[in-house]
């Protein structure tokens, strides 16, 4: 009977290109947006800091599925037809930005307050304090959750199937229902996700070793 | 001549008992995932820093496997795959197990980073004060580590809550499943999505409030941005 | 540290909802003309729902719904574009104009008819309960205290729920594949399904001796189009009338379902 063979595996592999594209778009967009939000969250303006908090929490609390639906169908209903790719990019950017800013801001916070003061005592301006003293230390703390989020993002692109993308997970479902063999089909899907995600994890761990202060045993 | 879509929330509102039942199940799944995932995460973080190479590697393999593959696959493996080994878990049990293992893979890494950031002098100072090992472990190493990475843990646990929806694939009747059923019955897809989105948003605030409230009891001296 | 939703949040939320409520969703009522002008029919089909929407060994769209769509496009004299949807997105795709028609084994109910217009039925099949030979089930009542798997939102889910069998545990899976494999893995005692899928399962696992136990009521299904699209509705009903009569629908049905098509009720 029909098993998960070459045609099926090729189908799944090709579907991965959407996963890659959507992930890249979401991470680039989300990363830039997140950086902006993070700077805003340590601004002197209390209103700005508050706004970032409210926004980040609202977006984080909304399932990505809803964000995608609002961006694709919702905007379409209001007359703004972005198309599947752009609306997915919009939703993923908002989503990524909100999560990344939370992670990054927490990492900055975790650096001891004394570091800010010490940097200031050395005559560094606020921007230089951030760049030269705080960020390198925050980086170590931020790396694992960030790499964790990158991986979540790659896997979350599976939701884009609802706006019509036949991406990796949806391809797995289609093959699973065509062959009635979910385990081989999804094993192939898992293997591809693994190959896509693992490099980020490894990269982050490598960076952790090289660029940050030695950890205590 | 355009036809306008008229929003009608009544069919959805009318079926609120099903939604409420779904919410309870989602909350139960989340609670199990948070508690189990956090407990396992602490253990995992310690194992990841263990002196035994074998233990470090086993934990490393587990973390990478569960973080880099989709929850749906893990769910299917546990529910449909384990029976070949004679282990048959109910949908709810399988879902809980998958959520705990999945969440723990992330929390292990988050907590590990927190532990790694322990200032070097802390443990030495504690030893010189002749504190007992388990006391040092719990209060000098683990607790401040948790405090340090708490915002990341909160984010991760919120993500967990939002990902409980995937368990509807193996028959767990939680919120997403209830919403899907209502969608199927009424075809009021927009209303259903908005309603479930709002409910998840509400659950998000409740979960955050609970987790941050807990942090105030557990880590009274830590200052946070939010 | 407490945080509270600022007034801006509420205004934004209700503003969005109001805007959505007042906006016009959906395309012109002259879909029929739009299709002709475009030269293309957009049909929303779920490709993970065998045997209606599935893929063949070349991973090309195939299935009963797909074949119906191809026939529709051919008679309309336009090309066909299949809009791949999931059960969640099939109605939004229709209502926001991403598709002209939904062909997805839509069971006809009055509640659903408030949101979409159903065409005349294009299929009617009997669903059944499938279980291993060893399991003793001769009537619905025997499903008492058993775990029965169904695909979420399917007609069997509906029937079994409404028959209120005491102690029955209905487990709704995300799709047919999960349902079938749950039976194979022994996670459920029986499943509600359709002839085609039952046959597929028997072919794949002949040594497990699955057999049909109980027949459930007929499931009548139609295509869905936007409310107000009367021109298009009339055309599709004409199409169905003609091909029900000349046997083309029956041929397609037998090809995919493995059994003869009963008389399509008039609508």
Q: Which residue of B has its CA nearest to A159?
A: B166
Q: Which residue of B has its CA nearest to A64?
A: B162
pLDDT band of C2, cuts 50, 70, 90: very low
Per-residue pLDDT reduced to its tens digit, A63-81: 888 889 889 988 887 778 8
From the list C221, C227, C210, the residue with the least C-alpha distance to C249 is C221
**What ipTM was estimated for this complex?**
0.85
In the prediction, which pLDDT does C231 show?
A: 93
Which residues lie below 8 Å from residue C93, measured CB to CB, with a gap of 6+? Answer: A164, C44, C83, C85, C99, C102
Verify whether the Cβ–Cβ distance C17 to B168 is below 8 Å: no
pLDDT band of C118, cuts 50, 70, 90: very high
In the prediction, which pLDDT does B223 show?
A: 66
Three-state SS at C199 = helix
Alpha carbons C211 and A59: distance in angstroms, whole number = 50
Q: Domain count for chain B, please give it.
A: 1
Decide if C98 is inside a domain: yes
Mean pLDDT of chain B: 88
Whether chain B has a CB inside 8 Å of the CB on C187: the answer is yes
CB A200 within 8 A of CB A146: no
User: Is the confidence at residue B103, as pLDDT, over 90?
Assistant: yes
Whether chain B has a CB inside 8 Å of the CB on C19: the answer is no
Q: Which domain holds residue C56?
A: 28-124+219-257
Decide if A171 is inside a domain: yes
User: Is the confidence at residue A216, as pLDDT, over 50?
Assistant: no
User: Is the confidence at residue A37, as pLDDT, over 80?
Assistant: yes
Residue C38 sits in the same domain as residue C164: no
CA distance B66 to chain C (A): 21
Question: Which residue among B64, B116, B224 sits closest to A215, beta carbon to beta carbon?
Answer: B116
Decide if C8 is inside a domain: no
Q: What is the mean pLDDT of residues C85-96?
A: 91
* Token output for B151: 């915002």
| Predicted TM-score of the model (pTM) | 0.85
B chain contacts of residue C187, beta-carbon cutoff 8 Å: 79-80, 83, 88, 91
Q: Domain count for chain C, please give it.
A: 2
Q: Domain count for chain A, please give it.
A: 1
* Token output for C213: 């136990």
Alpha carbons B115 and B117: distance in angstroms, whole number = 5
Residue C101 sits in the same domain as residue C162: no
In the prediction, which pLDDT does B1 show?
A: 27
Q: Which domain holds residue A67?
A: 6-211
Residue C33 sits in the same domain as residue C90: yes
Decide if A94 is inside a domain: yes
Which residue of B5, B68, B187 is the best one to mutate when testing the A interface, meaning the one whose CB has the most A CBs within 10 A? B68
Say what percent of chain B tops pLDDT 70.
96
B chain contacts of residue C186, beta-carbon cutoff 8 Å: 83, 88
CA distance B38 to chain C (A): 22
Verify whether the Cβ–Cβ distance C173 to B212 is below 8 Å: no
Question: Which residue among C47, C96, C181 sits closest to A77, beta carbon to beta carbon?
Answer: C96
Q: Which residue of A has its CA nearest to B198?
A: A62
In the prediction, which pLDDT does C14 show?
A: 56
Residue C135 sits in the same domain as residue C184: yes
A chain contacts of residue B190, beta-carbon cutoff 8 Å: 73-74, 77
CB B41 within 8 A of CB B218: no
- The torsion region of residue C198 among left (phi > 0), alpha (psi -120 to 50) and beta comes to alpha
Per-residue pLDDT reduced to its tens digit, C173-186: 998 999 999 999 99
B chain contacts of residue A64, beta-carbon cutoff 8 Å: 162
Alpha carbons A80 and C92: distance in angstroms, whole number = 15
User: Is the confidence at residue C5, as pLDDT, over 60?
Assistant: no
pLDDT band of B2, cuts 50, 70, 90: very low
pLDDT band of C23, cuts 50, 70, 90: very low
Question: Which residue among A53, A61, A77 sits closest to B226, beta carbon to beta carbon?
Answer: A53
User: Is the confidence at residue A11, as pLDDT, over 50?
Assistant: yes
Alpha carbons B11 and C114: distance in angstroms, whole number = 11
In the prediction, which pLDDT does B206 show?
A: 92
Decide if B107 is inside a domain: yes
Q: Which residue of B has its CA nearest to C147?
A: B90
User: Is the confidence at residue C49, as pLDDT, over 60?
Assistant: yes
Verify whether the Cβ–Cβ distance C152 to B188 is below 8 Å: no
Decide if B6 is inside a domain: no
CA distance C178 to chain A (A): 7
Decide if A162 is inside a domain: yes
Q: How many CB pairs under 8 A join A and C?
A: 95
- Convert chain A into a string of H (helix), E (strand) and C (coil): CCCCCHHHHHHHHHHHHHHHHHHHHHHHHHHHHHHHHHHHHCCCCHHHHHHHHHHHHHHHHCCHHHHHHHHHHHHHHCCCCCHHHHHHHHHHHHHHHHHHHHHHHHHHHHCCHHHHHHHHHCCCCHHHHHHHHHHHHHHHHHHHHHHHHHHHHHHHHHHHHHHCCCCHHHHHHHHHHHHCCHHHHHHHHHHHHHHHHHHHHHHHHHHHHHHCCCCCC
In the prediction, which pLDDT does C4 show?
A: 55
Verify whether the Cβ–Cβ distance A54 to C201 is below 8 Å: no
Whether chain B has a CB inside 8 Å of the CB on A111: the answer is no
Say what percent of chain A tops pLDDT 70.
95
Verify whether the Cβ–Cβ distance C112 to B91 is below 8 Å: no
Q: What is the mean pLDDT of residues C142-150?
A: 91
Decide if A1 is inside a domain: no
Alpha carbons B163 and B141: distance in angstroms, whole number = 30
In the prediction, which pLDDT does A140 show?
A: 77
CATH number assigned to the domain comprising residue A67: 1.10.3720.10
B chain contacts of residue C152, beta-carbon cutoff 8 Å: 168, 177, 180-181, 184
Lowest-pLDDT range of B156-160, B215-219, C69-73: B215-219
Decide if B225 is inside a domain: no
Question: Which residue among A73, A166, A180 sits closest to C177, beta carbon to beta carbon?
Answer: A180
User: Is the confidence at residue C144, as pLDDT, over 50?
Assistant: yes
Residue C114 sits in the same domain as residue C224: yes
Which residues lie below 8 Å from residue B209, measured CB to CB, with a gap of 6+? Answer: none
Three-state SS at B90 = coil
Which residue of B108, B193, B224 is the best one to mutate when testing the A interface, meaning the one whose CB has the most A CBs within 10 A? B193
Verify whether the Cβ–Cβ distance B200 to A215 is below 8 Å: no
- Window 124-163 of C: residues touching B by CB (8 A cutoff) are 149, 152-153
Three-state SS at C218 = strand
Verify whether the Cβ–Cβ distance A197 to B68 is below 8 Å: yes
HSE toward the beta carbon, residue B197, CA cutoff 13 A: 20
Decide if A216 is inside a domain: no
Which residues lie below 8 Å from residue A57, measured CB to CB, with a gap of 6+? Answer: A98, B204, B205, B208, B226, C3
Verify whether the Cβ–Cβ distance B2 to C172 is below 8 Å: no
B chain contacts of residue C1, beta-carbon cutoff 8 Å: 212, 224, 226
Q: Which residue has the higher pLDDT, C48 or A112?
A: C48
Verify whether the Cβ–Cβ distance C48 to A11 is below 8 Å: no
Mean pLDDT of chain A: 86
Q: Which residue has the higher pLDDT, A144 or A173?
A: A173
Residue C251 sits in the same domain as residue C196: no
Q: Which residue of A has its CA nearest to C93?
A: A73
One DSSP character per residue, C44-99 reads EE-TTBTTTBEE-TTS-EESHHHHHHHHHHHHHTSEEEEEE--TTTHHHHHHTTS-
One DSSP character per residue, B153-202 reads HHHHHHHHHHHGGGGGGGT--SHHHHHHHHHHHH--HHHHHHHHHHHHHH
* Token output for C186: 């022994």
CB B212 within 8 A of CB C1: yes
Decide if A149 is inside a domain: yes
* Token output for C86: 């999931």
CATH number assigned to the domain comprising residue B38: 1.10.3720.10
Strands C40-45 and C79-84: parallel
Q: What is the mean pLDDT of residues C141-161?
A: 86
Decide if A186 is inside a domain: yes
Decide if A217 is inside a domain: no
Whether chain A has a CB inside 8 Å of the CB on B55: the answer is no
Q: Which residue of C has its CA nearest to B220?
A: C1
C chain contacts of residue B173, beta-carbon cutoff 8 Å: 172
C chain contacts of residue A47, beta-carbon cutoff 8 Å: none
Whether chain A has a CB inside 8 Å of the CB on B162: the answer is yes
Per-residue pLDDT reduced to its tens digit, B18-72: 999 999 999 999 999 999 999 999 999 999 888 899 999 999 999 999 988 999 9
* Token output for C132: 């291993």
Which residues lie below 8 Å from residue C241, measured CB to CB, with a gap of 6+? Answer: C120
Q: Which helix (H) or strand (E) is C229 found in, with range?
A: none
In the prediction, which pLDDT does B209 show?
A: 92
In the prediction, which pLDDT does A169 show?
A: 92
CATH number assigned to the domain comprising residue C147: 3.40.190.10
Verify whether the Cβ–Cβ distance B110 to A183 is below 8 Å: no
Q: Which domain holds residue B136?
A: 16-218
């Amino acid at each position: 009977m029909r098993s998960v063979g070459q045609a099926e595996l090729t189908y799944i592999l090709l579907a991965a290109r959407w996963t890659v594209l959507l992930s890249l778009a979401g991470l680039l967009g989300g990363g830039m947006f997140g950086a902006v939000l993070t700077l805003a969250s340590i601004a002197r303006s209390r209103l700005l800091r508050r706004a970032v908090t409210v926004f980040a929490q609202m977006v984080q609390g909304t399932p990505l599925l809803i964000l995608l639906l609002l961006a694709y169908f919702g905007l379409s209903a209001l007359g703004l037809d972005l198309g599947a790719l752009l609306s997915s990019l919009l939703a993923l950017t908002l989503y990524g930005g909100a999560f990344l800013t939370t992670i990054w801001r927490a990492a900055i916070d975790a650096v001891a307050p004394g570091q800010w003061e010490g940097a200031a005592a050395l005559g560094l301006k606020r921007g230089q304090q951030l760049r030269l003293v705080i960020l390198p230390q925050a980086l170590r703390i931020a790396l694992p959750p960030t790499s964790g989020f990158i991986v979540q993002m790659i896997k979350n692109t599976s939701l884009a199937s609802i706006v019509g993308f036949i991406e990796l997970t949806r391809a797995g479902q289609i093959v699973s229902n065509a062959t009635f063999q979910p385990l081989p089909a999804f094993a192939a899907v898992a293997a591809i996700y693994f190959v896509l995600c693992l490099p980020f994890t490894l990269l982050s761990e490598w960076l952790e070793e090289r660029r940050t202060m030695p950890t205590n045993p | 001549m355009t036809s306008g879509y008229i929003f009608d929330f009544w069919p959805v509102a009318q079926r609120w008992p099903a939604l409420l039942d779904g919410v309870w199940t989602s909350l139960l799944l989340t609670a199990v995932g948070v508690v189990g995932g956090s407990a396992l995460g602490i253990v995992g973080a310690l194992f990841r820093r263990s002196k035994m190479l074998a233990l470090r590697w086993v934990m490393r393999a587990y973390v990478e496997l569960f973080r880099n593959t989709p929850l749906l696959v893990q769910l299917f493996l546990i529910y449909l795959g384990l029976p070949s080994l004679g282990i048959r878990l109910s949908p709810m049990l399988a879902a809980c197990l998958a959520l705990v293992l999945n969440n723990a893979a992330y929390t292990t890494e988050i907590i590990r980073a927190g532990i790694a950031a322990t200032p070097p002098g802390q443990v030495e100072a504690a030893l010189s004060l002749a504190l007992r090992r388990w006391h040092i472990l719990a209060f000098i190493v683990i607790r401040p580590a948790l405090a340090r990475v708490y915002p990341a843990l909160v984010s991760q646990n919120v993500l967990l809550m939002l990902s409980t929806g995937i368990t509807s694939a193996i028959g767990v009747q939680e919120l997403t499943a209830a919403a899907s059923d209502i969608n199927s019955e009424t075809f009021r897809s927009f209303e259903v999505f908005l309603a479930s989105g709002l409910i998840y948003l509400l659950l998000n605030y409740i979960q955050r409030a609970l987790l941050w409230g807990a942090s105030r009891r557990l880590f009274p001296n830590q200052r946070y941005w939010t | 540290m407490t945080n509270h939703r600022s007034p801006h949040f509420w205004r934004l939320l209700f503003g969005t909802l109001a805007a959505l409520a007042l906006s016009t969703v959906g395309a012109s009522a002259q879909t029929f003309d739009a299709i002709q002008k475009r030269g293309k029919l957009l049909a929303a089909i779920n490709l993970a729902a065998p045997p209606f929407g599935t893929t063949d060994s070349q991973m090309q769209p195939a299935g009963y719904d797909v074949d119906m769509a191809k026939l529709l496009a051919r008679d309309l004299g336009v090309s066909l574009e299949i809009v791949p949807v999931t059960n969640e997105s099939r109605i939004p795709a229709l209502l926001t104009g991403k598709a002209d028609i939904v062909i997805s084994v839509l069971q006809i109910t009055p509640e659903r008819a408030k949101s979409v217009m159903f065409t005349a039925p294009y299929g009617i099949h009997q669903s059944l309960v499938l279980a291993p030979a060893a399991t003793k089930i001769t009537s619905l009542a025997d499903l008492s205290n058993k775990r029965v798997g169904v695909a979420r939102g399917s007609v069997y889910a509906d029937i079994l729920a409404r028959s209120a069998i005491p102690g029955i545990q209905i487990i709704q899976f995300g799709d047919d594949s999960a349902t079938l494999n749950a039976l194979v893995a022994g996670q459920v005692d029986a499943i509600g399904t359709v002839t085609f899928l039952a046959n597929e399962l028997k072919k794949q696992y002949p040594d497990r001796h699955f057999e049909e136990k109980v027949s459930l009521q007929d499931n009548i299904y139609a295509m869905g189009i936007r409310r107000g699209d009367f021109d298009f509705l009339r055309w599709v009903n004409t199409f169905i009338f003609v091909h029900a009569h000349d046997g083309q629908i029956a041929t397609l049905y037998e090809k995919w379902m493995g059994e003869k098509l009963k008389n399509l009720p008039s609508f």
